[in-house]
Amino acid sequence: MDALLAKTSIGISELREAPARVFEQAGDEALVVLNHNKPAGYIVSKVWMERVLDALADRVLADKAIARLGTLKTARVIDPSDL
């Protein structure tokens, strides 16, 4: 059986009947759409998606910063007035 990665679920028929209501129902959480009692996909709100994308962007920046820390000893000092 497939794992459901959301607290709330709806049937795909409900999604077809009233898509706007489904987005309202999702609120700030993910909502799993079931087709024959198996996950067919997930619906997320705009707020949820922005939160996830912000977290991913933060992770990418942190990984880059950590990688650059290893090159700190070979960095050369530049006077800002030379720029």
pLDDT value at residue 26:
80
Task: Note whether 45 and 26 are within 8 A (CB).
Answer: yes
Domains located in the chain, CATH noted: 8-69 (3.40.1620.10)
Beta strands in the chain, from DSSP E residues, in sequence order: 8-11, 31-35, 38-43
For residue range 40-82, list pLDDT tens digits in order: 999 988 888 999 999 999 999 999 999 988 888 888 888 899 8
Question: What does each C-alpha distance from 61 to 49, 55, 58, 66, 67 come to in angstroms?
Answer: 18, 10, 5, 9, 10
> What is the model's pTM?
0.65
